[in-house]
Amino acid sequence: MVFPERFSDLPDYAFPRLRKLLDAHGAGGPVIHMSIGEPRHPFPAWVGDEIAACLEGFGRYPPNDGTAELQTSIARWIARRYGVNVAPDRQVLPLNGTREGLFNACLALCPETKNGKKPVVLMPNPFYQVYAVAALAVGAEPMYVAATPEAGDLPDYAALPAEVLDRVAIAYVCSPANPQGAVADAAWWDKLLGLAEKHDFRVFADECYSELYRDTPPPGALEAVERTGADPERVVVFHSLSKRSNLPGLRSGFAAGGAEAIARMKQLRNYAGAPLPLPLQAVATRTWNDETHVEENRALYRAKYQIADAILGDVPGYTAPQAGFFLWLPVENGEAAALKLWRETGVRVLPGAYLARDVNGVTPGADRIRVAMVAEQEEMRDGLTRLKACLYG
């Protein structure tokens, strides 16, 4: 049998790789899971009632583009959150989880060539791994651009040579950043859109952590389009209910952007998509309409930021995250630190290198661990206290 080569050199995905590293060894204490970014705060109490009220919808095929009610609730949320008006039926596409959208947007919108050459897809390094697989799936060249502390933990795409930028078809950006918790400010977004206009590429803005922040709501890419007068087709944004509303199992998010881009994504989805079941679309509609539970959720994370700062604030190199729910902690070697922590304390974290790629012998994050602040507060406090004593004591 012959198999495709384009995915043959993918490393193991982060969590199977973590299991290979840790699971042959016993836990050194009561287990605390801080490796996976799965929210554990309560989701809205009315979710079950909403599903029950719409139960008959499981007996019908859902509309591929989402219900009009869901499209409208998303457009209204964008207007409330970012002050930007989008057409619900033409500029919004509900998704069966944003990973679907981040992958399929590349399939739908990346050209086969750029200026007569193989297209380039830019992404931060470290990064959410679907970006790379999407680039490989369309035959583009994934280019991993280090997001280091020196660059504010965001990729400096403007520093790339002009001949590379002229080949770029798509640039992925994650703000607030996973794993670093860094936030792209308005000036950063404006600079990126100027670069996209100059070199004619699209920006895919992964904004799934936008509602978890300390004080100031992170700016978004759609705001930058409105502010700069850039072509709306330059940007597609992606949002999710997983983190905002503690509903990772709902698998509900959306993409929004220029009407032509969304139309092409819808057309691909007509052939290969899996729309959300109608009862779950009803839940998503109500959830995007409600901010009370989001504010309550945000308050819980703000308390966790304070716990992390109090425990780890005196650790050399500790950077308090601006947003999101990850700590990106400095160590000598991420794999060695994760294994030591597991064997001696039972706390489970992710080596930073598992989220990155080697470029010219350098793997950003090899000297970091990612710690998810998803556990209940006292459990998290216990985990961070054990972590500090083990790795920094």
Domains and CATH numbers, the chain: 14-42+293-392 (3.90.1150.10), 62-291 (3.40.640.10)
- What are residue 146's DSSP bridge partners? 125
User: In b/e form, how buried is each residue of 287-315, taking b as 16+ CB within 10 angstroms?
Assistant: bbeeeebbeebbebbeebbebbeebbeee
11 has a pLDDT exceeding 90 = no
Q: Which pLDDT band, with edges at 50, 70 and 90, does 92 fall under?
A: very high
Number of C-beta neighbours around residue 248 at 10 A? 18
Average confidence (pLDDT) over 49-71? 96
- Rounded to the nearest 10 degrees, how much is the dihedral formed by the CA atoms of 102, 288, 91, 76? -150
For residue 9, the model assigns a pLDDT of 82
Which range has the worst mean pLDDT, 1-5, 250-254, 339-343, 378-382? 1-5
For residue 257, the model assigns a pLDDT of 98
- Measured between alpha carbons, how far is 246 from 293 in angstroms, rounded to an integer? 10
Which range has the worst mean pLDDT, 9-18, 249-258, 303-312, 367-376? 9-18
For residue 8, the model assigns a pLDDT of 84
The single-letter code of the amino acid at 307 is I
Average confidence (pLDDT) over 163-187? 97
For residue 2, the model assigns a pLDDT of 87
Mean of per-residue pLDDT scores for the chain: 96
Q: Which pLDDT band, with edges at 50, 70 and 90, does 212 fall under?
A: very high
Residues 6+ apart with CB under 8 A from 379: 32
For residue 6, the model assigns a pLDDT of 87
Residue whose token pair is 């997001």? 147
- Measured between alpha carbons, how far is 348 from 166 in angstroms, rounded to an integer? 42
Q: Whole-model pTM above 0.85?
A: yes
345 has a pLDDT exceeding 90 = yes
10 has a pLDDT exceeding 90 = no
3-state helix/strand/coil string of 142-160:
EEEEECCHHHCCCCCHHHC
- Measured between alpha carbons, how far is 229 from 247 in angstroms, rounded to an integer? 34
Q: What is the pLDDT of residues 117-134, one digit of tens each?
A: 999 999 999 999 999 999
Average confidence (pLDDT) over 322-346? 98
- Measured between alpha carbons, how far is 51 from 60 in angstroms, rounded to an integer? 14
Helices (H), 200-277: 221-228, 241-244, 259-272
For residue 131, the model assigns a pLDDT of 97
Average confidence (pLDDT) over 239-261? 97
Q: What is the pLDDT of residues 274-298, one digit of tens each?
A: 899 999 999 999 999 999 999 999 9
- DSSP per-residue letters across 145-199: EE--GGGTTS--GGGS-HHHHTTEEEEEEESS-TTT-----HHHHHHHHHHHHHH
Average confidence (pLDDT) over 233-254? 97
For residue 264, the model assigns a pLDDT of 98
Average confidence (pLDDT) over 17-27? 97
For residue 273, the model assigns a pLDDT of 84
Residues 6+ apart with CB under 8 A from 229: none
